Amino acid sequence: MSGTTSKLYAIVHCKCPHCRRGDIFTGSMYGWNIQHTKEICGHCAQRIEIEPGYFYAAMYVSYAMNVIEMLIASFITYLIFGPLTDNTFWHYLIVIFTGCFILYPFNYRYSRIILLHVLSPNIKYKPYYDK
């Protein structure tokens, strides 16, 4: 890959916000290898968890993502089964909780990525790592 690495590419592919080259996670998002957040970028040695407890803030990002996903799941359920009534209550509940369960690994990974790339003003991209 030559030239500068775009921020969108780094976010989608879970790359370090400092060099946009090193991987932030070990393991796959879905699979038997449990994903873990690396402590230090393998490419530029940037500390990923800037301070102890830094990723607690990712819980708020994950919460916002989860609320949006629940609203979308509710809307899709509404389109399929109709309005929420006593007869459709379990449909709504099952669809919403299944969606939350399936999207948990996605939320875990991308809430941290959004926190690092968008909400962390202390980590600046250094294009000289692209050379």
pLDDT digits (tens, 9 = 90+) for 68-95: 999 999 999 999 999 999 999 999 999 9
pLDDT in tens, 94-113: 999 999 999 999 999 999 99
Write down the residue that tokens 């089964």 correspond to: 81
- The residues spanned by each domain of the chain are 7-129
Supply the pLDDT for residue 18.
92
Residue 123 in this model has a pLDDT that exceeds 50? yes
Strands (E), 2-129: 25-26, 36-37
Q: By C-alpha distance, which of 14, 7, 49 is closest to 29?
A: 14
Side-chain half-sphere of 1: how many Cα atoms within 13 Å? 12
What is the spatial distance between Cα 28 and Cα 5, in angstroms, rounded to a whole number? 22
pLDDT, tens only, 12-71 = 999 999 999 999 999 888 888 888 899 999 999 999 988 888 899 999 999 999 999 999
Mean pLDDT of 110-131: 86
Model pLDDT, residue 1: 46
Percent of residues, the chain, with pLDDT higher than 90: 67
- The conformation of residue 128, written as its DSSP 8-state character, comes to G
Q: What are 98's two structure tokens?
A: 């299944």
Kindly tell me if the per-residue pLDDT of 2 is higher than 60: no
Query: Which tokens go with 83?
Result: 């309005």
For residue 14, the tally of other CB atoms under 10 A from its CB is: 19
CA 43 – CA 103 distance, rounded (Å) = 29
